[in-house]
Amino acid sequence: MTDAQERIEQQLTDEVVASFAGAPDPRLRELMGALTRHLHAFIREVRLSEQEWKHAIDFLTAAGHLTDDRRQEFILLSDVLGASMQTVAVNNEAYRDATEATVFGPFFVEDSPMIGNGGDIAFGAPGTPCWVEGTVRDTDGHPVAGARVEVWEADEDGFYDVQYTDSRVTGRGHLFTEDDGGFRFWCVLPTPYPIPHDGPVGALLAAVHRSPMRAAHLHFMVTAAKLRTLVTHIFVEDDPQLKIGDSVFGVKESLVKRFTEQPAGTPAPDGRELGDRAWTRARFDVVLAEAPAQT
């Protein structure tokens, strides 16, 4: 590339960055300037062709057409590019022994059913019954009473309720911790499943020979006054997918938990009648960090 061509390209970048200089919000000004510089640097580094640019626009357009209140293709794109996990890392700095955060995912739904401690979030979803119990504490070891524990998961067939067309509500619910910080509930044993790959994000994964599979996991969001909201998963220790990889880079070693199989006939901790069904149990003790100072 000639010096003259480099000056032309750099001048355009500088002009676009300068166009945002009048933004009254300094943070917006910073974001748009940085976005412009990095985007232009990418285009210049790879010498993006006009055909490739059009293909990118078509890709984003297809993602927009597929996105609605039940499916978020742009979150999937963010997830498979590692942008979601990088954002999580930036916004959840390590703090003492606080539980690590991971991706939110595209399948959270507001206003999940209240199940209460010992309740069942499955609501008839197919799968092996699983008992999960634990505590919520702060980093000083004090129990956190009244923390909201939101839980959601796919069924054993790998689908969340919102992926069905019959308006079912299964595999999700919320409860609140007791005075000792304890919580407990029934769900179904998490199993590996593919992220939705029938759209543009799936086509991207296929083009680069990447698997859409996620390691088996159970979603949590834990909120409490004056403490940092935690969005995380727990993963099944003996899941073979852990060794293969997670399509959204969400696995952290500290979040891999033992799900212990209980043979048929083993009494349930709450006296639930399970007949001749085997079941599993797991423990997840949550530690919440202090909320960041308000600026």
* The two structure tokens encoding residue 107: 């399948």
**pLDDT at position 57:** 98
**pLDDT at position 42:** 98
**pLDDT at position 292:** 80
- In our burial notation (b when 16+ CB lie closer than 10 A, e otherwise), range 217-236 reads bbbbbbbbeebbebbbbbbb
What CA–CA distance (Å, rounded) separates 23 from 285? 45
Question: In this predicted model, what pLDDT tens digit does every residue of 114-149 receive, in sequence order?
Answer: 999 999 999 999 999 999 999 999 999 999 999 999
Residue 154: half-sphere exposure toward Cβ, Cα within 13 Å: 22
**pLDDT at position 139:** 97
Question: In this predicted model, what pLDDT tens digit does every residue of 207-258 receive, in sequence order?
Answer: 999 999 999 999 999 999 999 999 999 999 999 999 999 999 999 999 999 9
Question: In this predicted model, what pLDDT tens digit does every residue of 260-283 receive, in sequence order?
Answer: 999 999 999 999 999 899 999 999
Q: Calculate the alpha carbon distances from 37 to 34, 42, 43, 82 in Å.
A: 5, 9, 10, 20
The residue type at 270: D
Domains defined for the chain, CATH in brackets: 3-48 (no CATH), 77-288 (2.60.130.10)
What CA–CA distance (Å, rounded) separates 35 from 198? 30
What is the pTM assigned to this prediction?
A: 0.90
Question: In this predicted model, what pLDDT tens digit does every residue of 148-195 receive, in sequence order?
Answer: 999 999 999 999 999 998 989 999 999 999 999 999 999 999 999 999
- pLDDT at 294 exceeding the cut of 70: no
What CA–CA distance (Å, rounded) separates 73 from 154? 17
Beta carbons of 86 and 102 less than 8 angstroms apart: no
Inter-helix orientation angle 73-80/200-207, to 10°: 20
